[in-house]
A and B are shown apart, each in its own frame.
Chain A
Amino acid sequence: MRGVWQLVRIALRNVVRNRRRSAITLVALGMAVCVLVFLRGAVNGLQAVLKERVIYGQTGVVQIHKRGFIANVKKSPLHFGFPAGPAMLAKVRAVEGVQAVTPRVAFATMVSVKDTTLFALGLGIDPVLEYDVCPQRRNDLSPGSTVSGGAADGLGVTTPELRDQLALKRGDELTLLAPDFDGTLNGGLVGVGGFLADNPAFSADKKLIFVPLAAAQALVRLDEQATELAVRSADPDAADALKQRLEAALGPGFEVHTWRELAKFAVDALSTQEKALGFVTGIFALVALFGILNTMLMIVLARTKEIGTMMAVGVRRRSILGLVVSEAAILGGLGAILGGALGVCAVLLAAKVGLSIKPPGATLPDIVRPFVSLAFVARAVIGAMIGAAIAAVYPAYRASRMTPIEALGAL
């Protein structure tokens, strides 16, 4: 055992002795680990923003629908209205983990102002409860905009697209014409209470109008009803458990879906990001490993005679192998620790400053605050160390397969 320690000590001293070469290797490897840690941090931050926007800006943690709703997306949601009065809301609130619940009515409508008419998607939201479940919605409104009032005096907001196409101003009066569940066309009036600053993050539809719940219920004749209930809980990652509890509490007449199931687009974006990061990581790892392999080949070449001396005095093949591999592992470990530390610093700094990133299609940038888990940093460091050791196996093997004469004969 002491023999092994002796060789590791020599490896360690070799790293110190060849300062320049070690420094170059350390910097290269350190940079790779640093960039990877920072990228991970940035992607973490980006994903957190994305999740936040989806969960607290649109879907809630889970949603409750009447059974069959998701399977029949092509049908009008109005076929799936269900009573959503205080009794129903109380029943949902009583389920463990539920922090808030809000009813919504989704509907298709014609929007007319003066002599222009457009098709749009409408969403009736409760002017108070909605923000308990999706507080981010407030941020989506441009300053001073509001969804408020009841069936008669409702104020709604529209997307910028709808505003531009209909040349809307705040205070305008809109006529909504919508068919209800049995096809009867109903009309209603709603005032323009303002506009969304931006399109909601993951909506394919650009023409949206948000109106007070009561106005929507009156328009499509679903009094005291909703087409969906959005639910908030403390931990979005525990959405599956909440879903099961809600389904058990509500019985077979309802179905519950988590934000992951609802916001496929967001989930796809998350997994695309993961794949891209994985790819970049792979490239970095490959380049770094090739660098280590090359360095170790040079080291072995430069120290052939020393290896020959070791062989002459009785060092075994395995130990020569171990010597070269441990030198690479030390280099790799040191580089990775330095790079990891630097990466963490960069992440912390970026988190403090905040990175301004504009998602495609948005007009307002998101402030991304990178973060990274210590477990990830530890994995990166250990991975780099093991990777460096593996990359050194071939040079080490070559060194150990020399005969003592060959090795000693080298100049």
Chain B
Amino acid sequence: MSIIKLQGIKKEYDLGKTKVIALKGVDLEVQKGEFTVVMGPSGSGKTTLLNIIGCLDRQTSGRYDLEDKEVVGKDFDDLAAIRNEKIGFIFQMFNLIPVLDVIENIEFPCLVRQVPEAKAKLRARATQLAEDVGLGPYLHHKPDELSGGQRQRVAIARALATQPVLVLADEPTANLDSKTSDQIIDLMVHLNKDKGVTFLFSTHDPRVMKHARRVVRIADGKIVEGTLEEHERAAHA
């Protein structure tokens, strides 16, 4: 089953006098359990693409199917519900809620649901997730008491808490040093292998690609799919 199916996705930003065409017709399919890296230079449209896939933004034209169901122009709260139920987000800047501790941040997306699950069950699952990402000893630390890498681990656990069909990560390692980056990528690779979580993340860091099973290259708003070797050659060229 394909989780995502994009057909001819275009995105224009209307800046009044001029128009910026950020995506010029993107076709992309992501299967369940894949670990896909969207790779491309700055300004190529990675964030724009992930925003559309994440239902944070709507395409100007083209068709987007999520779990074989077309995402049609729905209102804010409908899209919010889709985001909450189907998609986990990992941000470059971690984006944790400062006043909530680790475990509360992990639980947060589940708690804002119309019908939240039982407290004890949620707490048990969140605790397990915190342990899975290596934050067992930090459950009651606030984000400002954690390192960047630890914060991103919280974000990963939070993204998984709702048991989404897809986890999106826009340059999740851009604010981390290379060692921490490797650990974060390792963690995501493991979660992908062990739990079958479907990951789609963007980067313009070629080093990250050695972990990727599949690389989608984007340049100037268009997709160029290829093998790892081709990309390495391109990167070194």
A405 in contact with B109 given A311-B80, A313-B89, A317-B76 (CB within 8 Å)? no
Pick the contact of B97: A309, A314, A408 (CB < 8 A).
A309
A315 in contact with B116 given A6-B111, A309-B91 (CB within 8 Å)? no
Task: Beyond A305-B93, A310-B112, A313-B108, list 5 extra A-B contacts (CB 8 Å).
Answer: A2-B116, A306-B95, A314-B80, A316-B112, A405-B51
Q: Is the CB of B77 within 8 A of A316?
A: yes
A305 to B96, CA, bound (A): 10
Pick the contact of B114: A3, A6, A306, A408 (CB < 8 A).
A3
Q: Is the CB of A405 within 8 A of B99?
A: no
Q: Is the CB of B111 within 8 A of A2?
A: yes
A/B pair count, beta carbons within 8 Å = 79
Q: Is A403 an interface residue (CB 8 A)?
A: yes
Q: Is A291 an interface residue (CB 8 A)?
A: no
- Which chain A residues lie closer than 8 Å to B80 at the CB level? 311, 314-317
- Which chain A residues lie closer than 8 Å to B109 at the CB level? 313-314
Q: How far is the CB of B77 from chain A (nearest CB, A)?
A: 5
A310 to B83, CA, bound (A): 11
A154 to B133, CA, bound (A): 104
Q: Is the CB of A315 within 8 A of B112?
A: yes
Q: Is the CB of A10 within 8 A of B112?
A: no
Q: Is the CB of A312 within 8 A of B56?
A: yes
Q: Is B67 an interface residue (CB 8 A)?
A: no
Q: Is A13 an interface residue (CB 8 A)?
A: yes
A310 to B89, CA, bound (A): 11
- Which chain B residues lie closer than 8 Å to A319 at the CB level? 112
In the complex, which of the residues B56, B77, B100, B112 has the most CB atoms of chain A within 10 Å of its own CB atom? B112
A10 to B84, CA, bound (A): 19
Q: Is the CB of B77 within 8 A of A317?
A: yes
Chain A, residues 302-331, CB within 8 Å of chain B (1/0): the string is: 000110111111111111000000000000
Interface residues of A in 109-146 (CB under 8 A from B): none
What are some 11 contacts across the A-B interface (CB < 8 A)?
A: A6-B112, A10-B97, A10-B100, A305-B95, A309-B91, A312-B91, A313-B162, A315-B80, A317-B77, A403-B56, A408-B56
- Which chain B residues lie closer than 8 Å to A315 at the CB level? 80, 112
Q: Is A17 an interface residue (CB 8 A)?
A: yes
What is the number of residues of chain B that contact chain A, defined by CB distance less than 8 Å?
30
- Which chain A residues lie closer than 8 Å to B232 at the CB level? none
- Which chain A residues lie closer than 8 Å to B116 at the CB level? 2-3
Q: Is A383 an interface residue (CB 8 A)?
A: no
A318 to B51, CA, bound (A): 22
Closest to B159 in A: A313
- Which chain B residues lie closer than 8 Å to A354 at the CB level? none
Q: Is the CB of A404 within 8 A of B56?
A: yes
A313 in contact with B51 given A404-B56, A408-B56 (CB within 8 Å)? no
Q: Is B68 an interface residue (CB 8 A)?
A: no
Q: Is A165 an interface residue (CB 8 A)?
A: no
Q: Is the CB of B57 within 8 A of A314?
A: no
Closest to A403 in B: B57
A17 to B142, CA, bound (A): 12
Closest to A401 in B: B76
Q: How far is the CB of B52 from chain A (nearest CB, A)?
A: 10
Chain B, residues 52-83, CB within 8 Å of chain A (1/0): the string is: 00101100000000000000000011001101
- Which chain A residues lie closer than 8 Å to B225 at the CB level? none
- Which chain A residues lie closer than 8 Å to B114 at the CB level? 3
Q: Is B158 an interface residue (CB 8 A)?
A: yes
